Amino acid sequence: MGETETYGKTLRLREGWLCLDFANTASWHASDHPTEHLRTYSDLAVWAQEKGLLTSEEQEHLLRKATLEPNAAEAALRQAVELRECIYRIFSAIANRRTVEQSDLDFLNEALAAATTHFRVVAADKGFVWGWEKGDGYDAMLWPIVRSAVNLLTSEDLERVGECADERGCGWLFLDTSRNRSRRWCSMEDCGNRAKARLHYKRHKAA
């Protein structure tokens, strides 16, 4: 279950698919006051390194480069956030049984066409694997995210995509791996616990 194509790198994922983890770089996504975690290009590069999309050396190189070309780095950050919002809207719609907007699919397909030009077959320890061309573009970490979103859309896992049911608009996306597909919360320790507390209060008040 989850993402098995790593494109030559080990992805450290919380929610099983890289695109879902990327969508969750904003908190309270379904509310009127989302919290942005990608405030600077440095935030994006650090996140990408933590996920295994960049090596430490690649991250350091990009951050040094970004200090010399702040406008280009800022443009890449805006591109990343735009992609993230598109991915969030698509999978939020799927999780909530809504129709995906054609404009979002068009945007993703355009991003896919651009990313695919960087897809390569590369030698591995045993045989060959899919990988990405070497480069120092500011947006290189976005290519596997786009591929991940497309792979999830066309996989059997798609029907397991869920969104936190917190009534205040948590918006956390996840892959429901429970046997009976009963997961409703980002985590029972967080939104799930608050929901249980609210239900207990309502029952106690009614009694």
Please name each of the domains of the chain with its CATH number.
Answer: 18-206 (1.10.3300.10)
Both tokens assigned to 185: 């919360």
- Polymer length in residues for the chain: 207
What does the pLDDT look like over 38-84, one tens digit per residue? 999 999 999 999 999 999 999 999 999 999 999 999 999 999 999 99
Q: In the predicted model, what is the mean pLDDT of residues 105-118? A: 97
As a whole number of angstroms, the longest Cα–Cα distance in the chain is 67
End-to-end CA distance of the chain: 43
Q: In the predicted model, what is the mean pLDDT of residues 167-189? A: 88
159 pLDDT above the threshold of 70: yes
Per DSSP, the residues of the chain read ------TTS----SSSSHHHHHHTTEESTTSSSPEES--SHHHHHHHHHHTTSS-HHHHHHHHHHHHH-HHHHHHHHHHHHHHHHHHHHHHHHHHTT-PPPHHHHHHHHHHHHHHHTTEEEEE-SSSEEEEE-----TTTTHHHHHHHHHHHHTSGGGGGEEE---TT----EEE--STT----SS-IIIIIHHHHHHHHHHHHHH-
147 pLDDT above the threshold of 90: yes
CA proximity to 181, closest of 159, 154, 151, 166: 159
Share of the chain above pLDDT 70, in %: 86
- For residues 128, 131, 133 and 135, what is the CA-based torsion angle, rounded to 10 degrees? -130
Say which range, 54-68, 106-120, 131-145, has the weakest mean pLDDT: 131-145
Reported as a pLDDT band with limits 50, 70 and 90, residue 194 is low
Which one is predicted more confidently, 9 or 178? Answer: 178
Q: In the predicted model, what is the mean pLDDT of residues 124-146? A: 91
CA proximity to 109, closest of 100, 122, 96, 120: 100
Q: In the predicted model, what is the mean pLDDT of residues 175-195? A: 79
191 pLDDT above the threshold of 90: no
User: Do residues 121 and 128 lie in contact, with contact meaning Cβ atoms separated by under 8 Å?
Assistant: yes
Distance CA 197, CA 192 (A): 9
